[in-house]
A and B are shown apart, each in its own frame.
Chain A
Amino acid sequence: GAVVSQHPSWVICKSGTSVKIECRSLDFQATTMFWYRQFPKQSLMLMATSNEGSKATYEQGVEKDKFLINHASLTLSTLTVTSAHPEDSSFYICSASRDGEQFFGPGTRLTVL
């Protein structure tokens, strides 16, 4: 149990376009999901906490208007990178919380040209 999926697993887009990443908890309901960003050979950096039915809580330094988060149901959260630029290229990972534990998705590699 506790399987989390992400889609797509990788995406390449042109500068200025928007990209949506989906995070789903497949076999449990998650009132809270998290979005992380990870640079090569570095640890996870929390971007925001997503709560079902309410606005996301963003970490300091993360632009709310650039990284739009929607937690539409107990099994789905989406991250939209708006007007993406090359510096947004990174590995984005979501996690879903269950009983105080976090279970991670496989990650999405975003490359902005």
Chain B
Amino acid sequence: KNQVEQSPQSLIILEGKNCTLQCNYTVSPFSNLRWYKQDTGRGPVSLTIMTFSENTKSNGRYTATLDADTKQSSLHITASQLSDSASYICVVSDRGSTLGRLYFGRGTQLTVWP
């Protein structure tokens, strides 16, 4: 069964601190993995995308890693800001369907305190 598991479920950090969010998946055949940021009451917005051959991708203070062998990914946030408070969702796409089916994790709810 194709699944995406994220941890922790929620996280509280102080402004300026770093944090790392984890994602494990069992989706096969694998196509790509994305991290989305979803602000409360809004739609998800893509932060990074990685294919099988990529093991790291950065977008400003966000750095994602991918280990396709162990089927694990992480999202590292550096020097957190209050605006980083949001849900971060790991999304894996399979290669096996013309639809391009996406498998969503439940997200990690990040709260940044001043």
Same complex: no
